[in-house]
């Protein structure tokens, strides 16, 4: 069975004290995390070590929100996959729509980031998804396929198995809008078919595909019940311990 994953993306939120309080509250919740399930918390970089230490006796793992496209060097303010790995953190979000839009990260840069992650035993949580204009034009399938092709399809099959894909319809991020469970399933099935066409069905059935677009406790069960939706990349709702715990417990 594919790994079922609930990943929290805190983005640039919370003071350190608030982060500790949130984790304390989360760990107090009645969580059911089975062997085929994984919970990730993508904290701001300064919090990775203290939050990782707080989670040491739990089944929850820390995740980086981003990594650099190079291994090391004179890149002030950047954090490499090598550094992340040295912290014993093995997951990193790559290609989030905010990085694409606000920091102009293109397909070629994201391909380099994926390479760096895999070279240092960090699983990429690779984000893809379309803006509203593309969805309205009905060309979302080809748009997402291009994102996958140009940033992931230089990998070999074993490398691809190390990746997690997160489909995030940009028009549903932080807007309160959510793709219907049918829309999510349709795109997730398309992504899996595209991966299968390139790498084969065995690889495609190994790769977890998460939905990221205003996931909440109120819609998580319906979304996660779809056969190709393997969990969620959760933004705002992950800043509420009770809400995020309900999302974790909605994993199938």
Catalytic annotation on 202? no
Instruction: Kindly give, in sequence order, each residue whose CB lies less than 8 Å from that of residue 239, ignoring residues fewer than 6 positions away.
Output: 10, 13, 14, 22
**How many other CB atoms are found less than 10 A from the CB of residue 146?**
12
For the stretch 75-111, pLDDT in tens is 999 999 999 999 999 999 999 999 999 999 999 999 9
- Which range marks the domain in which residue 119 is found? 4-249
Please check whether residue 11 is in contact with residue 129, taking contact to mean a CB–CB distance below 8 angstroms: no
- Which residue in the list 168, 188, 190, 243 is annotated as catalytic? 168
Q: How many CB atoms within 10 Å of residue 206?
A: 17
Catalytic residue among 96, 120, 123, 188: 96
pLDDT tens for each residue of 191-245:
999 999 999 999 999 999 999 988 999 999 999 999 999 999 999 999 999 999 9
Three-point CA angle 111, 208, 177, nearest 5°? 90
Total number of domains constituting the chain: 1
Q: Look up the CATH number of the domain holding residue 187.
A: 3.20.20.70
Q: Confirm whether 123 is a catalytic residue.
A: no
Q: What is the pTM of this model?
A: 0.96
- For residues 148 and 129, what is the distance between their CA atoms, to the nearest angstrom? 10
């Amino acid at each position: 069975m594919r790994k079922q994953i609930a990943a929290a993306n805190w983005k640039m939120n919370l003071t350190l004290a608030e982060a500790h309080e949130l984790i304390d509250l989360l760990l107090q919740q009645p969580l059911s995390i089975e062997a085929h399930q994984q919970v990730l918390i993508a904290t701001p970089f300064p919090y990775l070590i203290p939050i990782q230490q707080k989670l040491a006796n739990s089944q929850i793992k820390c995740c980086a929100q981003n990594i650099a496209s190079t291994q090391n060097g004179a890149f002030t303010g950047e954090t490499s996959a090598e550094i992340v790995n040295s912290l014993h953190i093995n997951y990193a979000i790559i290609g989030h729509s905010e990085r694409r839009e606000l920091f102009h990260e293109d397909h070629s840069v994201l391909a380099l980031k994926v390479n760096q992650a895999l070279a240092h035993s960090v699983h990429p949580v690779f984000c893809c998804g379309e803006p509203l204009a593309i969805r309205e034009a009905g060309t979302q399938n080809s748009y997402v396929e291009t994102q996958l092709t140009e940033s992931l399809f230089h990998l070999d099959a074993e490398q691809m198995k190390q990746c997690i894909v997160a489909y995030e319809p940009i028009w549903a991020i932080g807007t309160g809008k959510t793709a219907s469970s049918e829309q999510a399933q349709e795109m997730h099935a398309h992504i899996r078919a595209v991966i299968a066409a390139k790498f084969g069905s065995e690889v495609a059935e190994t790769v977890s595909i998460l939905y990221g677009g205003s996931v909440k406790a109120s819609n998580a069960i319906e979304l996660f019940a779809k056969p190709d939706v393997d969990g969620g990349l959760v933004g705002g709702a992950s800043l509420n311990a009770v809400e995020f715990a309900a999302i974790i417990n909605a994993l199938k």
